[in-house]
């Protein structure tokens, strides 16, 4: 970065190379600085060391018009040792100033300046120092006369006093000249600059903010070229506290050396960082440094804790540390370090023996079990049974408190501290750690830990427990788990309790894989064996699984009995964690019986009770259930929020994807619902989970139906036919299956497959008994009504739909009501009952908008726009019926010359369906042959063009044009639909 006189900004090369990583998180601040430097006398960046001040200066100068338009840049970047050297800052600033400018002052100031720059004797008195200041002012005026000048002072805190005084004198007298300053000053977090006197009046002070955790992760990954373990990255984010230099140094050290595990990842702090932060603290007396070490070692340091650890007067020792800005005492005697890295540096700077002694003292002083056990483990970094027992007890305490990650880490540490001559105890503790890992959602680590025990243990019971963890860590993917269960039963032979565990898992596997008869048999077997072994917890779980299987096969009374037996064994619905699954199942059974309010109250109450204590599996199961309930209850916005929480907990799992897709059908968009449902289908297929595959396919069908067009209907039929086949194979008969039959029939009607729709509906009605919920009857009536109307019996169809609406008005199911109102409105519109259509469609739109059912609101608006278009077209076509979407598509294809077979292949329907639909098209359009239909389609296209471009013709409509027109409202994906409204 040169000017015409040879002055150079030494950081120019680095500034030019400043990249996106260096400026991560600070680009907005750079833009502000650029604007302020253009408009005002300069900018002063301030903040703690490493926060990015110098990087900002380099980037600012690289992009500054003042530095790149023939101006002069004077640069100074002093170090700490420079602060004691007279005029060293001035020497740096004026190093590249042309001699002609240095000669500008009068003789006495020029001589004084020459001496200050070591070109002559040093000024020895006050007059000479004043002369130096005048000379500096004159040189700057001379430079400004030739072009803009930028003073860059990167590190005002180390600027020697004489240079600071000379600059302070000069900058106050440069008003009106094109001289600006870019400066930095190191200050402690939260403090203000102290060297403003060396800056021009009105300089803009810009505090450089810390980076966000996301930005820290970005720069660390970019620097290392890859990812660190999540817990190590989290520790770097916490310790660096947004400081990019600290983060990069900690990341490099963490990559090179292992971290301590007793307190999570305790990061190694590089020596140069420790020197930067502790240079003065190392000069403190030994007693003060011991107090600081104890403070840095404690999880929650306080004066009371230090006294309990043997420091008689900790406040006195900390006063010295506070004077140096290392740590301070706040309200309540709590001690705070000025930065998290200072704390880590103090601990890392102490010898290993001193750190172990500090942990031993704190282990005796603290009362909280987890913290005490951690200190004990650090004080005794070797195999020791007492330490292992303390760690295991703390792990159990953490699990009860809902801290599953902590429980996993402590139990794993307990296993490693277990003496080698106690292999059974070590295996038992490893399995406990694996179970806690499952609670925390760390399934890979759980499986690896359990696999270690399974491969090494000589105990049959421990091998059974290891297999149980492997089954649990498989999540939904239990299809291939048959061998695990079979081999486990071989090890469990003669142990009723272990056999009960495995038979229960066999029942769970059967439930997910669709082997419902086998699942019921295994669940009953597990309950009997658990009763014989006195294992109440397994018995409760087996009965709960049995209840779910019985509800799926359509035996709600038997399911209720099994559930009530389980609740009685557990001591009622409020007796603790073992009842969470029972409460959730009771809510789902209530939902399937249309008792939506009851289901919601139970699940919301359960979620509130378990939120701070439940593992990932329990939370996801509860959130999925709540999403189902919220969708049916019409709480569409809340359903989206609940599904999002579910995705955060277990993003790519089939249940979470299913919940997200279901919520999107209610409150999102059809495209989003389709995408998520397809992902849920793939995940369920990969897991071999037929239960969630059934539900994911059903949601995919619902998402496709939301489009309301033949293409979506064809995709819906494909998905829902698979549901039909799966349900038959599973012998599933719970209420949702019959709802999905109604959806399949509706999709078939849209395609014109009214005969096949009739077959599906007869099949569904045959399963309807006195105990079937009213919502099932309403769904089947809606499909029947649409089928009647599509077959030319609009009056009968409307009557069926009104009956369904009346039935749904008595139920708290607004989403189902809106769907049925839209269906009724469409039938009434096609029948030219515009008043009735507007009334029900208006109600549908109002209700859908109120409950946040965005896709249904869009469908209602689409139907209303079609109604408006029909009213604007006049009454020329009164008495004729509008074509359905499938009829319109058939008419278009036939009008274009396609044969019936070609139409059937194009629309994925049968030739018989095409023939039946074509007969209805002839009747509605008022023609008798394919030739006449082709003519009508051509005329309709002309009419459509005239409607879009009224200036393109004379506006006259002939007799044929009055018989068929192209509907412009709600045309799906560019396809034309035909009606007879003109």
Distance CA 226, CA 468 (A): 35
The predicted structure's pLDDT at residue 66: 52
Distance CA 937, CA 935 (A): 5
* Under 8 Å between Cβ of 971 and 964: no
Q: Which residues contact 394 (CB under 8 A, 6 or more apart)?
A: 369, 370, 372, 373, 374, 410
Distance CA 236, CA 251 (A): 7
Per-residue pLDDT band for 972 (boundaries 50, 70, 90) equals very low
Distance CA 819, CA 706 (A): 10
Q: Which residues of 7-31 are buried (b: 16+ CB within 10 A; e: fewer)?
A: bebbbbebbeebeeebbbbbeebbe
Does 973 score more than 80 pLDDT? no
Does 78 score more than 80 pLDDT? yes
Q: Report pLDDT digits (tens) over 758-811.
A: 999 999 898 887 778 899 999 999 999 999 998 888 899 999 999 999 999 999
Q: Which residues contact 97 (CB under 8 A, 6 or more apart)?
A: 5, 7, 72, 74, 139, 143
Overall pTM > 0.75? no
The DSSP letter of residue 185 is: E
Higher pLDDT pick, 475 / 837: 837
Distance CA 685, CA 691 (A): 10
Q: Which residues of 655-667 are buried (b: 16+ CB within 10 A; e: fewer)?
A: bbbbbbbbbbbbb
Distance CA 730, CA 429 (A): 40
Per-residue pLDDT band for 937 (boundaries 50, 70, 90) equals low
As a whole number, mean pLDDT of residues 27-33 equals 90
* Under 8 Å between Cβ of 154 and 125: no
How far is residue 123 CA from its own chain's centroid? 66
The predicted structure's pLDDT at residue 258: 55
The predicted structure's pLDDT at residue 951: 40
What percentage of the chain reaches a pLDDT higher than 70? 88
The candidate with the shortest Cα–Cα distance to 44, out of 153, 189, 169, is 153
Q: Which residues contact 120 (CB under 8 A, 6 or more apart)?
A: 111, 114
Does 14 score more than 80 pLDDT? no
Q: Which residues contact 160 (CB under 8 A, 6 or more apart)?
A: 78, 82, 83, 84, 85, 86, 87, 88, 89
Q: Report pLDDT digits (tens) over 148-167.
A: 999 999 999 999 999 999 99
Q: How many CA atoms does the CB half-sphere of 334 hold within 13 Å? A: 7
Q: Report pLDDT digits (tens) over 670-720.
A: 999 999 999 999 999 988 888 889 999 999 999 999 887 778 888 899 999
Taking residue 324's Cβ as centre, other Cβ atoms within 10 Å add up to 15
Distance CA 687, CA 682 (A): 9
Higher pLDDT pick, 727 / 429: 429
Does 426 score more than 90 pLDDT? yes
Q: Report pLDDT digits (tens) over 235-272.
A: 899 999 999 999 999 999 888 765 554 554 578 888 98
Distance CA 64, CA 66 (A): 5
Planar angle of CA 529, 533, 539, nearest 5 degrees: 55
Strand 149-154, strand 72-76: pairing = parallel
Q: Report pLDDT digits (tens) over 260-319.
A: 545 545 788 889 888 888 888 888 889 999 999 999 999 899 999 999 999 998 888 888
Q: Tell me the pLDDT of the chain averaged across its residues.
A: 84
* CA Rg value for the chain: 39
Q: Report pLDDT digits (tens) over 33-73.
A: 999 988 889 999 999 988 999 999 999 988 875 555 567 89
Per-residue pLDDT band for 125 (boundaries 50, 70, 90) equals low
Q: Report pLDDT digits (tens) over 743-770.
A: 999 999 988 888 899 999 999 898 887 7
Distances (CA, A) of 20 to 25, 50, 51, 242, 293: 9, 17, 16, 17, 39
The candidate with the shortest Cα–Cα distance to 373, out of 358, 359, 357, 383, is 359
The candidate with the shortest Cα–Cα distance to 623, out of 610, 613, 633, is 610
The predicted structure's pLDDT at residue 909: 72
Per-residue pLDDT band for 960 (boundaries 50, 70, 90) equals very low
Distance CA 882, CA 967 (A): 10
């Amino acid at each position: 970065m040169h000017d015409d006189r040879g002055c150079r900004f030494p950081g120019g090369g680095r500034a030019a190379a400043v990249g996106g990583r260096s400026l991560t998180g600070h680009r907005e601040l750079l833009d502000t600085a650029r604007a302020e430097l253009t408009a005002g006398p300069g900018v002063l960046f301030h903040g703690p060391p490493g926060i990015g001040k110098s990087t900002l200066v380099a980037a600012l100068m690289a992009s500054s018009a003042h530095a790149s338009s023939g101006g002069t840049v004077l640069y100074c970047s002093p170090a700490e040792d420079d602060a004691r050297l007279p005029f060293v800052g001035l020497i740096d600033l004026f190093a590249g100033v042309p001699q002609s400018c240095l000669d500008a002052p009068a003789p006495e100031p020029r001589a004084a300046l020459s001496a200050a720059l070591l070109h002559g004797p040093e000024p020895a008195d006050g007059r000479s120092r004043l002369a130096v200041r005048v000379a500096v002012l004159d040189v700057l005026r001379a430079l400004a006369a030739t072009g803009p000048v930028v003073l860059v002072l990167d590190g005002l805190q180390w600027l020697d006093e004489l240079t600071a005084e000379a600059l302070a004198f000069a900058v106050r007298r440069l008003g009106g000249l094109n001289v600006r300053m870019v400066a930095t000053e190191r200050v402690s977090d939260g403090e203000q600059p102290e060297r403003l006197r060396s800056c021009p009046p009105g300089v803009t002070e810009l505090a450089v903010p810390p980076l966000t955790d996301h930005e820290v992760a970005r720069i660390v990954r970019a620097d290392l070229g890859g990812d660190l373990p999540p817990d190590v990255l989290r520790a770097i984010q916490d310790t660096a506290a947004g400081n990019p230099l600290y983060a990069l140094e900690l990341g490099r050290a963490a990559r090179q050396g292992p971290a301590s595990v007793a307190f999570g990842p305790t990061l190694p702090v590089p020596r140069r960082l420790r020197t930067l932060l502790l240079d003065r603290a190392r000069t403190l007396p030994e007693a003060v440094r011991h107090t600081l070490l104890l403070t840095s070692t404690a999880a929650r340091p306080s004066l009371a804790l230090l006294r309990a650890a043997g420091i008689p007067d900790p406040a006195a020792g900390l006063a010295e540390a506070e004077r140096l800005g290392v740590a301070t005492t706040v309200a309540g005697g709590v001690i705070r370090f000025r930065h998290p890295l200072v704390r880590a540096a103090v601990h890392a700077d102490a010898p290993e023996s001193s750190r172990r002694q500090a942990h031993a003292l704190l282990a005796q002083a603290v009362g909280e079990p987890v913290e005490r056990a951690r200190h004990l483990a650090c004080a005794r970094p070797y195999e020791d049974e007492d330490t292992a027992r303390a760690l295991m007890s703390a792990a159990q305490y953490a699990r009860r408190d809902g801290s599953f990650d902590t429980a996993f880490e402590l139990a794993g540490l307990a296993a490693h501290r277990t003496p080698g001559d106690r292999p059974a105890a070590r295996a038992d503790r490893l399995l406990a750690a694996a179970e806690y890992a499952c609670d925390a959602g760390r399934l890979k680590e759980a499986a690896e830990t359990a696999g270690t025990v399974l491969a090494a243990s000589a105990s049959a019971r421990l091998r059974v427990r290891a297999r149980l963890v492997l089954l649990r860590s498989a999540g939904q993917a239990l299809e291939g788990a048959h061998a695990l269960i079979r081999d486990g039963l071989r090890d469990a032979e003669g142990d009723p309790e272990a056999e009960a565990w495995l038979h229960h898992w066999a029942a769970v596997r059967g439930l997910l894989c669709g082997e419902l008869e086998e699942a019921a048999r295994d669940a009953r077997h597990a309950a009997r064996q658990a009763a014989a072994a006195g294992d109440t917890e397994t018995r409760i779980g087996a009965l709960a699984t049995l209840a779910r299987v019985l509800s799926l096969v359509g035996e709600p009374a038997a399911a209720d009995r099994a559930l009530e037996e389980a609740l009685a064994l557990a001591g009622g619905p409020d007796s603790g964690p073992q009842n969470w699954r029972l409460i959730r199942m009771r809510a789902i059974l209530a939902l399937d019986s249309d008792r939506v309010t009851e289901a919601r109250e139970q699940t919301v109450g359960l979620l509130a009770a378990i939120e701070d204590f439940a593992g990932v599996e329990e939370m996801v199961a509860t959130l999925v259930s709540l999403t189902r309930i919220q969708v049916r209850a019409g709480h569409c916005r809340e359903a989206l929020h609940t599904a999002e929480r579910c995705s955060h907990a277990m993003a790519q799992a089939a249940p979470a994807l299913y919940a997200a897709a279901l919520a999107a059908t209610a409150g999102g968009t059809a495209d989003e619902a389709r995408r998520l449902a397809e992902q849920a289908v793939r995940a369920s297929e990969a897991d071999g989970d037929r239960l969630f595959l059934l539900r994911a396919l059903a949601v995919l069908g619902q998402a496709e139906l939301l489009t309301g067009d033949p293409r979506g209907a064809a995709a819906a039929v494909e998905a829902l036919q698979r549901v039909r086949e799966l349900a038959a194979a599973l012998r599933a008969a719970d209420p949702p299956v019959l709802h999905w039959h109604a959806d399949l029939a509706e999709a078939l009607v849209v395609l014109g497959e009214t005969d096949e729709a009739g077959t599906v509906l007869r099949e569904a009605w045959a399963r309807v008994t006195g105990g079937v919920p009213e919502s099932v009857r309403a769904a089947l009536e809606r499909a029947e009504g649409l089928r009647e109307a599509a077959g030319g019996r609009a009056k009968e169809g409307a009557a069926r739909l009104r009956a369904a609406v009346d039935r749904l008005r008595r139920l708290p199911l607004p989403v189902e009501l809106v769907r049925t109102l839209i269906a009724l409105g469409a039938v009434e519109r096609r029948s030219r009952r515009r008043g009735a259509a507007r009334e029900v469609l208006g109600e549908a739109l109002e209700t859908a908008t109120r409950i946040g059912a965005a896709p249904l609101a869009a469908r209602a608006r689409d139907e209303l726009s079609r109604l408006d278009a029909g009213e604007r077209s006049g009454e020329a076509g009164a008495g004729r019926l509008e074509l359905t979407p499938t009829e319109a598509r058939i008419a278009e294809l036939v009008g274009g010359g396609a044969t019936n077979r070609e139409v059937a292949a194009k629309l994925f329907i049968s030739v018989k369906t095409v023939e039946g639909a074509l007969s209805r098209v002839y009747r509605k359009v008022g023609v008798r042959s394919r030739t006449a239909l082709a003519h009508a389609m051509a005329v309709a296209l002309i009419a459509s063009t005239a409607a879009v471009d009224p200036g393109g013709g004379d506006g006259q409509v002939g007799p044929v044009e009055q018989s068929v027109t192209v509907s412009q409202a709600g045309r799906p994906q560019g396809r034309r639909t035909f009606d007879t409204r003109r």
